[in-house]
Each structure stands twice: as structure tokens, then as C-alpha cells.
Amino acid sequence: MASTPVHWSRIGEAGTVMGMKLFLLTFRIFGRSGFQLFLYPVICYYYLLRKSARQASKQYLQQIRPFLPVEQRSSLSSFRHFMVFGEVLLDKLLVWMGHIDKDDVILVSRDTIEKIDCQRKGGIIIVSHLGNFEVGSALANQIPNMRLTLLIYTRHAEKFNSLMKTVTGNSDMEIIQVSDVSPATIMMLSNRINAGGYVVIAGDRVPVSGQARISMVRFLGKLAPMPQGPFILAGLLKCPVYLMFCLKQHAQYHVYFELFLERLKFGDRKKRLETLDNTVQEYAKRLEYYCLQTPLQWFNFFPFWGDNQVLTTNPIPPVESKVDIS
């Protein structure tokens, strides 16, 4: 009998914060070249130690391989996947320390970002564990008077947040625990958005509190559970929803910023569930599209699909899929 997949929130991050401290120390002493040499044995150790993460990586790579051109498939390996993750961990710290700034990043969606900068209407920015959303968030935080509030599951993040504050002294972005979003929290977020602030939340991990608010959607050929929470929040706050992906391509970060929804409106209960399912599916299409651009930058090292049924091996066409819900 197959074992039930462990929820992502119960998977510890043993060694991750300590490893990041070692990464940072190595970078400070030896620079990027020395860090690259140090990274290999560290990732070897982590790769051998973390069987569940290794299996999750192999599951993901097996799932995405048929969607990629033949010439790209040979470059996929679980160990290389881990190596890319190690490099991104260092970048997460370097961007907050100022070693990566706006001159090092290509803003692919400059028009959308400039529009946000001018209008300051506020809204929700949905990120994911694809690429390095910290780079985009940190650069957005450099825009004068732009306030970001990050909703995150703090049991995983609190040590990393403490480390970032220790090495950077950064306190401009407020972090709120996702597992405790009360009516008072909703009111506080509404006030911030009405004042032109932005709420940042991940859209690719199911809620800690249970399976009630998820949609089963097509993602890389299989049914996968994805959260409704970010979109329920958008409906309650009556604000625009943006998607942000920050991918490292050709040794440089590229920030992709999309207006996903101007406003999400719910009807009766039946209409609401249908609207949520359709919206989450559209989000999964965009996530899949960007996954295919940088397949080794997917950093969900847990059983993302579980044992869900295979649907198709035909990739979703790389088109600008948008949701228009009234």
C-alpha cells in the first residue's frame, strides 16, 4: 500500500540555513569562483542525505522531460537540479546585500512595471518557487515609497528571515504568517493595498490548514493540487492581481511581470467554485509556460503531484494566456 505523500510544510529544511551561512562566508572570503568550488561537495552531501528531495526532483524532471525539445532533455539531471538550487540560495542573500541591483537584471515587462510605479493602485503579486522571486521582490523594494508585504509560511522562513536581517539589516518588507490570516489581517492588507502597497504571496503551494481550499489543475500533464487562497484573497480585497517570475537566463536574471486580473468577482457559491477552479487553472498554465523556459529552476523539493493520474504529454502552447472573469 502506497504511503500518503507528506505535506510540504512538514518537510524540514535541515541544514539549509547553516548551509547558506557557509555559502555566504565562502563568498565573502573567496568570491564567486571560490564559492563554485565549495558548492560541489556541499551539494553532494545534501543530495545523498535528502532522499525525499532527490526523489521529488526526479519525479519533476521525469514529468517535464516530454514537454521539452529533444536537444534539451539530455541536460536534465537531478544532481544538476540541486546545483542550480545551491547557486540560487546564494543569490537570495546577495540581492538583499546589494550585490545584485537593477543594473544586473533585465526587466522583460518594463511597461507593466513602469505603469505600476506611476499608478500605485496597489494589488497582489503572485510569485512561485520557480526561479528566484527574492530578486524581483528586492528590486521592487528599491522603488521609492513602494511598500511590499510578504505572506509566507514562517515555520520554514523564520530562520532565513533572521539570517537576512543579520547580514543586510533590511526591514522594509514586512513578513506575515500565511497560516494565521484573520479578518483583522484582511483589514490590514486592504488598508495597505488602498494606500498603494502590494501583497506578495506564493501561488504554488497548498495551504497548511488542509485540502479544503485547493483546485486540482492540469500541470505538466498530471493533476496537481494548487491553492485557491491567493485568488480568494484577491476577490476579498477587490484589487488587481499580477504574476511575477524571476528566472536566471544566460547568467543574468530576467524579471517577467504580468497583469493577470484587473479584478476577480464571485457570483453565487456554484459560480464561485467554478470561477476559482478556472482561475487557478489559468495560473497553472502560466506557471507551466515559465517552467519550460528554465526547467532546472523549479525548487519544490516535495511530492508535488503525488499519485495523480497522467492526463497528457502535449505541452500547453506558449501563448499569452489571460483570464477575463467578470
**Cα gap 89→105, rounded to integer Å:** 17
Range scoring the smallest mean pLDDT among 92-106, 143-157, 257-271: 143-157
Q: Residue 123: is its pLDDT beyond 70?
A: yes
Mean pLDDT of 172-197: 81
Per-residue pLDDT, 91: 87
Cα 262 from chain centroid (whole Å): 21
The mean pLDDT value of the chain amounts to 80
Residue 210 amino acid letter: G
**Cα gap 114→110, rounded to integer Å:** 6
The continuous run of DSSP H or E covering 249 comes out as strand 241-249
Q: Residue 11: is its pLDDT beyond 50?
A: no
- What is the percentage of the chain residues whose pLDDT exceeds 70? 75
User: 200 falls in which pLDDT band (50, 70, 90)?
Assistant: very high
Higher pLDDT, 4 or 22: 22
Per-residue pLDDT, 105: 85
Per-residue pLDDT, 178: 65
Per-residue pLDDT, 135: 82
Q: Residue 139: is its pLDDT beyond 90?
A: no
At 267-315, the pLDDT tens digits run 777 788 899 999 999 999 999 999 999 999 999 998 899 755 444 444 4
Domain assignments of the chain as residue spans, ordered by start: 8-297
User: 213 falls in which pLDDT band (50, 70, 90)?
Assistant: confident
At 83-102, the pLDDT tens digits run 999 888 888 878 877 788 77
Per-residue pLDDT, 164: 60
- Cβ atoms of 125 and 199 within 8 Å: the answer is yes
Per-residue pLDDT, 28: 86
What burial letters (b/e) apply to 299-314, b meaning 16+ CB within 10 Å? bbbbbbbeeeeeeeee
* pTM of structure: 0.85
Q: Residue 12: is its pLDDT beyond 80?
A: no
CA distances from 252 to 30, 104, 137, 296 (A): 21, 7, 16, 15
Higher pLDDT, 112 or 66: 66
Termini Cα distance of the chain: 45
**Cα gap 119→321, rounded to integer Å:** 24
